[in-house]
Amino acid sequence: MKLSEPQALNRIAAYCSKAERCEFDVRKKLLAWELSDDAVRRIIERLRKERFLSDERFSRSFINDKLKFNKWGRTKIIYELRKRNIPESVYLPLLEELSGDEFEKQLMHILSVKARSVKANTEYEKKTKLIRFALGRGFSMELAIKCVNKLLGGDYEDYSS
């Protein structure tokens, strides 16, 4: 679909006003509308100037949503932000604001729910499946082992030593 620059600006401003967006997503949408690189650059500058677009605001919202609603760990959140070309200088301070306790609470909650449905022949197999599940959600190996040990009793070695 080919749009003129003013039409694209109006549409993308409406798109940005509905939810927080990052520059990467906006740029992708504008390029899909077959706009020139100069037009895309001008539109993005204008959106930033008028505060429709902010990578920091997007990162804060993204981190909060993925932690609270999707129950993702630090690793998966960082991976997704990198995929969207958000600079580390933007999201690392936001992640540092979160205490490790928040990630631990989330992981304990999802592991306790998951533990009820895991089918395993041995306790070791159950712990392994739960740790793999936690890693898939983006939590660190150290935190996964710590939480599984808290939940089921600890005979796994501490990974950090």
Domain ranges of the chain: 5-49, 55-97, 100-152
Residues 5/46, Cβ–Cβ less than 8 Å: no
pLDDT at residue 161 in the model: 37
**Per-residue pLDDT at 24 exceeds 80:** yes
pLDDT at residue 63 in the model: 95
Provide, rounded to the nearest whole percent, the portion of the chain with pLDDT above 70. Answer: 95
Q: In the structure, what pLDDT confidence band is assigned to residue 159 with cuts at 50, 70 and 90? A: very low
- pTM equals 0.86
Report the pLDDT averaged over residues 35-41.
94
More confident residue, 161 or 50: 50
**Per-residue pLDDT at 102 exceeds 70:** yes
**What is the C-alpha separation between 55 and 90, in angstroms, rounded?**
7
According to DSSP, residue 85 is labeled: T
Report the pLDDT averaged over residues 117-132.
94
**What is the C-alpha separation between 14 and 49, in angstroms, rounded?**
15
Report the pLDDT averaged over residues 26-39.
93
**Per-residue pLDDT at 77 exceeds 90:** yes
Torsion-angle region of 154 (φ positive above 0: left; ψ -120 to 50: alpha; else: beta): beta
pLDDT at residue 155 in the model: 56
User: What mean pLDDT, rounded, does the chain reach?
Assistant: 91
Report the pLDDT averaged over residues 4-16.
93
Report the pLDDT averaged over residues 41-61.
95
**Per-residue pLDDT at 33 exceeds 60:** yes
